[in-house]
């Protein structure tokens, strides 16, 4: 039998073009809570068709559900303790400073490398945390951790010229994203989001036609961005809801979903019926809460965190306020090119402003037992200043358990003043959610901010505000500048359609880490025994499973424990600016 890959005549070496065996479409942050009701109204026809002809279900992300560890867990089939990426930033080994993360921090092999080793070619586009790109048999175009368009983010290099000849110069950023102070700017951001989607669609279609691989993956990021910034326009019960802006922006989120539904349809049109298709999101989305927590302020009130008490504190505080005000003002009013320019010229100024802005510099480490890195917008995680681990650590290992017990107990006492119910429903100890050689790099305590009964945001605490309440309820009125109205939820989406998958079936208990083992099993590759994910056997037809029982393979292992430095200072400035615009950094 002649298959699509068979060489027709060995003497001529003329090969029929490869047909992909599996294609994965990543819709970052897509959530059933929006898709299901829209499908019921007749919207999202392409995803609806996939659901009706394939398998679908909720896809549980990793904890906490943040983009870098989530997509990395997807690619490795492992929890962050085994791959080493926990966040957008990582703590400097043996220090308190934070560095930006990229793929060099990933210390477990990806499913792409495993597929290559098994003889399959792979091509991926725009997956977060794939910069610098892997040298795959196939291609890789890096995602959101690419510092700039000028970085070497496409492997092989020859593909870059090819793409630029056919789809034009690649663009990675949205101007004004972090500076949406007017309706005009909001409209421009939505137009730029659309432009980026069109660019990535053109790239995906071109790659499918001219560089087909056995396994291909295409990721689109715009749902995540539009949910973060436009959720409050469609949600009338939202504390930031803007009824004046609703006629213009109330449909902003849905438009992006419908657009990517159409893109999904276009990609599938290019595939043969025997290609297995998966649509996945790395986490879900939902509204932010009106509850704001100042964690370092609370830790200071509990006597666990201390600030430097220096002379002339008042003058210093006034100067700091001015610098802080200047820094945050500067960020909101400049376009991204100007900010990038400033960041490159004034790295020292930037670092100073940033330190005062996060109040980290004011912490007296010699008297501090626990602290939170409040520069991060979402994940409030608490770190213990442990002796022997941190340079100025004061907590004895013998005291660790009692201290973390005390912190957990005290966090449970923070109540919503309106209902009297706890603000934080759950606190996870590190060893409850991370396991593996790198788990000690994760935070000591992770506070649940993504569950419906545990929603809150955090903001930086400052020394001069240390007597104010640790929990505040935000005023219910539209926001004057660009701030998040939407954030992440634990459950994303999974849809699959293919010749060996069930039809019109719902899958239960699927996790993001299950995709790598499932993909390997689909292609007949043994599943490494050290993957945490499992093969989603409930997605496959029983005749396929009978003929192809799941095989355990040798461990894929982890690489060295040394953390390489991922970026130059200039690249860090660019990444920082993108993360601020996206709202991931305060």
Q: How far apart are the C-alpha atoms of 52 and 35, rounded to whole Å? A: 14
DSSP helix, strand, coil percent of the chain (3-state; round to 5): 40, 15, 45
Asked if residue 318 and residue 282 are part of one domain, the reply reads no
Phi, psi (5° rounding) for residue 255? -60, -40
Instruction: Tell me what pLDDT residue 159 has.
Output: 97
Q: How far apart are the C-alpha atoms of 124 and 134, rounded to whole Å? A: 10
Q: Categorize the per-residue pLDDT at 3 as very low, low, confident or very high, splitting at 50, 70 and 90.
A: very low
Instruction: Tell me what pLDDT residue 562 has.
Output: 55
List the CATH number of the domain containing 177: 3.40.720.10
Instruction: Tell me what pLDDT residue 375 has.
Output: 65
Q: Categorize the per-residue pLDDT at 128 as very low, low, confident or very high, splitting at 50, 70 and 90.
A: very high
Asked if residue 263 and residue 204 are part of one domain, the reply reads yes
In the predicted structure, residue 485 carries a pLDDT above the cut 60: yes
Which among 543, 525, 141 is positioned nearest to 535, based on CA atoms?
A: 525
Task: Name the pairing type of β-strands 427-429 and 445-447.
Answer: antiparallel
Q: How far apart are the C-alpha atoms of 196 and 144, rounded to whole Å? A: 12
Asked if residue 530 and residue 492 are part of one domain, the reply reads yes
Q: How far apart are the C-alpha atoms of 69 and 87, rounded to whole Å? A: 6
Instruction: Tell me what pLDDT residue 574 has.
Output: 72
In the predicted structure, residue 83 carries a pLDDT above the cut 90: yes
CB-based contacts of 1, cutoff 8 Å, min separation 6: none
450 assigned to some structural domain: yes
In the predicted structure, residue 331 carries a pLDDT above the cut 60: no
Q: How far apart are the C-alpha atoms of 188 and 384, rounded to whole Å? A: 43
Q: Categorize the per-residue pLDDT at 330 as very low, low, confident or very high, splitting at 50, 70 and 90.
A: very low
| β-sheet bridge partners, residue 58 | 493
For the chain, what percent of residues have pLDDT higher than 70?
84
348 assigned to some structural domain: yes
Instruction: Tell me what pLDDT residue 173 has.
Output: 83
Q: Categorize the per-residue pLDDT at 255 as very low, low, confident or very high, splitting at 50, 70 and 90.
A: very high
In the predicted structure, residue 170 carries a pLDDT above the cut 60: yes
* pLDDT tens readout for residues 277-319: 999 999 999 999 999 999 999 999 999 999 887 634 544 555 4
Among candidate residues 425, 446, 473, the one where a domain is terminated:
473
Least trusted range by pLDDT, from 73-87, 253-267, 369-383, 475-489: 369-383
Q: Categorize the per-residue pLDDT at 380 as very low, low, confident or very high, splitting at 50, 70 and 90.
A: confident
500 assigned to some structural domain: yes
Q: Categorize the per-residue pLDDT at 420 as very low, low, confident or very high, splitting at 50, 70 and 90.
A: very high
Q: How far apart are the C-alpha atoms of 439 and 55, rounded to whole Å? A: 34
Asked if residue 158 and residue 40 are part of one domain, the reply reads yes
Asked if residue 444 and residue 326 are part of one domain, the reply reads no
* 292: helix, strand or coil: strand
Among candidate residues 416, 441, 473, the one where a domain is terminated:
473
Instruction: Tell me what pLDDT residue 16 has.
Output: 52
Q: Categorize the per-residue pLDDT at 94 as very low, low, confident or very high, splitting at 50, 70 and 90.
A: confident
CB-based contacts of 340, cutoff 8 Å, min separation 6: 148, 573, 574, 577
What's the whole-number mean pLDDT along residues 462-473?
90
What's the whole-number mean pLDDT along residues 11-17?
50
Phi, psi (5° rounding) for residue 571? -65, -40
572 assigned to some structural domain: no
Which among 496, 454, 458, 461 is positioned nearest to 474, based on CA atoms?
A: 458
Nearest 5°: the CA angle 428, 434, 440 is 100
* pLDDT tens readout for residues 193-230: 999 999 999 999 999 999 999 999 999 999 999 999 99
Question: Which residue has 């290559």 as its token pair?
Answer: 116
Asked if residue 336 and residue 235 are part of one domain, the reply reads no
Asked if residue 256 and residue 403 are part of one domain, the reply reads no
Least trusted range by pLDDT, from 26-30, 94-98, 227-231, 478-482: 94-98
550 assigned to some structural domain: no
Asked if residue 298 and residue 216 are part of one domain, the reply reads no
560 assigned to some structural domain: no
Instruction: Tell me what pLDDT residue 145 has.
Output: 84
Q: How far apart are the C-alpha atoms of 70 and 553, rounded to whole Å? A: 24
Instruction: Tell me what pLDDT residue 469 has.
Output: 95
Structural domain of 176: 22-79+108-288+487-541
In the predicted structure, residue 240 carries a pLDDT above the cut 50: yes
Q: How far apart are the C-alpha atoms of 60 and 125, rounded to whole Å? A: 23
Instruction: Tell me what pLDDT residue 341 has.
Output: 45
Among candidate residues 327, 345, 362, the one where a domain is terminated:
362
In the predicted structure, residue 98 carries a pLDDT above the cut 80: no
In the predicted structure, residue 336 carries a pLDDT above the cut 80: no
What's the whole-number mean pLDDT along residues 391-396?
94
556 assigned to some structural domain: no
On whether the CB atoms of residues 362 and 378 are closer than 8 A, the answer is: no
Which among 502, 517, 481 is positioned nearest to 50, based on CA atoms?
A: 502
Asked if residue 438 and residue 342 are part of one domain, the reply reads no
Provide the token pair at 8: 């027709």
Asked if residue 448 and residue 495 are part of one domain, the reply reads no
Least trusted range by pLDDT, from 214-218, 374-378, 486-490: 374-378
Average pLDDT value for the chain:
87
Asked if residue 189 and residue 53 are part of one domain, the reply reads yes
In the predicted structure, residue 335 carries a pLDDT above the cut 50: no
In the predicted structure, residue 1 carries a pLDDT above the cut 90: no
What is the pTM assigned to this prediction? 0.89
Asked if residue 499 and residue 391 are part of one domain, the reply reads no
561 assigned to some structural domain: no
CB atoms under 10 Å from CB of 535, counted, come to 21
Beta strands in 337-481 (DSSP E): 370-372, 381-384, 427-429, 445-447, 457-458, 471-473
Question: Which residue has 């001069």 as its token pair?
Answer: 464
Q: How far apart are the C-alpha atoms of 524 and 507, rounded to whole Å? A: 21
Q: Categorize the per-residue pLDDT at 415 as very low, low, confident or very high, splitting at 50, 70 and 90.
A: very high
Q: How far apart are the C-alpha atoms of 437 and 140, rounded to whole Å? A: 27
Instruction: Return the exposure string of 26-35: e unless at least 16 CB atoms fall within 10 Å of the residue's CB, then b.
Output: bbbbbbbebb
CA torsion angle 52 24 531 56 (round to 10): -10
The per-residue DSSP string of 129-185 comes to: S--SPP--SEEEEE-TT---TTS--EESHHHHHHHHHHH-S-----TTGGG--SHHH
**How many domains, the chain?**
3
Instruction: Return the exposure string of 52-69: e unless at least 16 CB atoms fall within 10 Å of the residue's CB, then b.
Output: eebbbbbbbbbbbbbbbb
Q: How far apart are the C-alpha atoms of 301 and 545, rounded to whole Å? A: 58
């Amino acid at each position: 039998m002649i298959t699509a890959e068979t060489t027709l005549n060995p003497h001529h070496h003329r090969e029929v073009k490869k047909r992909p065996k599996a294609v994965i479409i990543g819709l970052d942050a897509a959530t059933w809570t929006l898709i299901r009701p829209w499908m019921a109204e007749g919207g999202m026809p392409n995803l609806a068709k996939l659901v009706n002809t394939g398998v679908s279900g909720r896809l549980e992300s990793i904890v906490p559900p943040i983009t870098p560890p989530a997509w990395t867990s997807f690619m490795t089939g492992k929890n962050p303790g085994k791959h080493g990426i926990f966040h957008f930033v990582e703590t400097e080994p043996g220090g308190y400073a934070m560095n930006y993360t990229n793929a060099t921090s990933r210390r477990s092999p990806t499913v792409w490398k495993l597929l290559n080793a098994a003889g399959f070619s792979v091509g991926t586009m725009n997956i977060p945390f794939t910069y610098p790109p892997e040298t795959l048999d196939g291609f890789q175009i890096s995602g959101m951790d690419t510092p700039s368009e000028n970085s070497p983010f496409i492997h092989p290099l020859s593909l870059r010229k090819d793409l630029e000849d056919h789809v034009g110069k690649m663009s990675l950023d949205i101007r004004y994203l972090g500076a949406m102070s007017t309706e005009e700017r909001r409209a421009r951001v939505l137009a730029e989001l659309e432009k980026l989607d069109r660019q990535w669609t053109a790239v995906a279609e071109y790659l499918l036609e001219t560089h087909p691989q056995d396994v291909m993956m295409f990721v689109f990021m715009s749902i995540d961005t539009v949910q973060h910034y436009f959720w409050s326009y469609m949600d009338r019960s939202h504390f930031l809801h803007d009824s004046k802006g609703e006629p213009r922006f109330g449909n902003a989120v849905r438009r992006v979903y419908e657009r990517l539904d159409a893109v999904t349809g276009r990609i599938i049109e290019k595939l043969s019926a025997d290609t297995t298709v998966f649509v996945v999101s790395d986490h879900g989305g939902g509204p932010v809460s009106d509850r704001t927590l100042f964690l370092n302020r609370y830790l200071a009130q509990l006597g666990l965190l201390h600030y430097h008490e220096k002379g002339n504190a008042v003058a210093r505080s006034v100067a700091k306020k001015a610098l802080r005000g200047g820094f945050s003002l500067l960020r909101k009013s400049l376009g991204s090119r100007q900010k990038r320019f400033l960041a490159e010229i004034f790295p020292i100024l930037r670092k100073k402003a940033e330190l005062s802005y996060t109040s980290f510099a004011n912490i007296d480490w010699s008297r501090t037992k626990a602290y939170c890195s409040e520069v991060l917008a979402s994940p409030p995680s608490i770190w213990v200043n442990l002796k022997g681990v941190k340079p100025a650590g004061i907590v004895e290992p013998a005291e660790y358990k009692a201290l973390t017990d005390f912190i957990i107990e005290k966090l449970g006492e923070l109540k919503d003043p309106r209902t009297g119910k706890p603000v934080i429903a759950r606190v996870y100890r590190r060893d409850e959610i991370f396991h593996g050689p790198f788990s000690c790099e994760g935070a000591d305590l992770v506070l649940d901010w993504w569950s419906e009964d545990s929603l809150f945001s955090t903001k930086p605490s400052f020394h001069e505000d240390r007597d104010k309440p640790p929990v505040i309820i935000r005023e219910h009125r539209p926001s004057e500048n660009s701030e998040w109205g939407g954030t992440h939820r634990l459950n994303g989406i999974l849809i699959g359609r293919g010749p060996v998958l069930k039809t019109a079936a719902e899958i239960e208990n699927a996790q993001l880490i299950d995709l790598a083992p499932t993909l390997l099993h689909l292609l007949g590759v043994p599943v490494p025994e050290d993957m945490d994910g499992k093969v989603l056997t409930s997605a496959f037809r029983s005749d396929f499973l009978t003929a192809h029982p799941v095989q355990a393979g040798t461990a894929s292992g982890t690489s060295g424990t040394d953390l390489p430095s991922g970026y130059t200072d200039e690249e860090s400035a660019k990444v920082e600016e993108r993360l601020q615009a996206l709202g991931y950094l305060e």
